[in-house]
Amino acid sequence: MKIRILGLLATTALTTAGFSAASAADLPVRSAPPAPVIAAVPVFTWTGFYVGGNAGWGFRTEDREPVVLSGPGIPAGLAGTLNFDDDDGGFVGGGQIGYNYQTGNFVFGVEADIQWRDTGDDEDVTFSPGVGNTGVFVPGTFASQEPDWFGTVRARAGVAFDRVLVYATGGLAYTEDNTGWTAGGGVEWALPTNWNLFGSNAVTFGVEGLWVSLDQDDDGSTGPIGTFTPAGGTTPVNVFMPARDDDENEFFVARAKLNFKFGTY
């Protein structure tokens, strides 16, 4: 009797186990969870158009020029040196527009700007007579005829270190009646900001230095630059600026720039 009961229990257990296994085989298999979506961080590029403004300071060096003065009442062959006291600085400001193209770490571009500069209304001039020339020169102040604006059109080439660009630049400089050249360099940084002003996708800040050389220094004036009293004379004689050909108007500009960039991020 015990043997029969044990056999029945064993048969029931085997049957239950088989049924459970079969039922488990019929259950749906749970799929693996989807992989998380990781958005790619956009890579900054300098490629694109930009427009902006700048402000800075312009510097001129003192101009010394040998001349021979002539005119009624002035001794013949009165030679000496004219000294133009125009080495003080002045404000420079304006706007620029340009385009950059980046390939690898190298950036190439072109930029044009227009600048207003505070050249000052007057310049002090002194005359140093040469050896053998006697008399007294009293310096005067005359109105400068230099234009109060200039522009440049320049190529740019540099190396980008992610959001920092180091570059050299050079090209054409011009005013209302003269042309020349300019060369310099600068550093520019793409700010970590989301201003997105005027539809731009980036804002950059930079500092730049330019040496500007124009073909002719238009310092001429219709007024006297001083008076000269010859030795033994009592009547001062007005001294006017002599004609100067192929002179150069040169100055240095240091400025800060803010640009709004449009195009690829």
Q: What percent of the chain has pLDDT over 70?
A: 55
Structure tokens at 105: 């770490």
In terms of pLDDT, which residue wins out, 256 or 231?
256
Mean pLDDT value across the chain:
76
The residue type of 34 is P
The neighbour count for residue 120, using CB atoms within 10 Å, is: 15
Q: In the structure, how many helices (H) and strands (E) does the chain have?
A: 1, 14
Q: Is 201 within 8 Å of 265 (Cβ atoms)?
A: yes
Place 148 in a pLDDT band, splitting at 50, 70 and 90.
Answer: confident
Helix or strand (DSSP H, E) at 26:
helix 2-26
107-123 tens-digit pLDDT: 999 999 999 988 655 56
Flag the least confident range among 28-42, 46-60, 139-153: 28-42
pTM for the model: 0.68
Mean pLDDT calculated for residue range 65-92: 66
Angstrom distance (rounded) from CA 242 to CA 68 = 8
The contacts of residue 188 (CB under 8 Å, 6+ apart) are 164, 165, 167, 204, 205, 206, 257, 259
**Domain segments of the chain: what residues?**
48-262
Angstrom distance (rounded) from CA 50 to CA 138 = 52
Q: What percent of the chain has pLDDT over 90?
A: 37
8-state DSSP, 71: S
In terms of pLDDT, which residue wins out, 147 or 37?
147
Angstrom distance (rounded) from CA 171 to CA 36 = 52
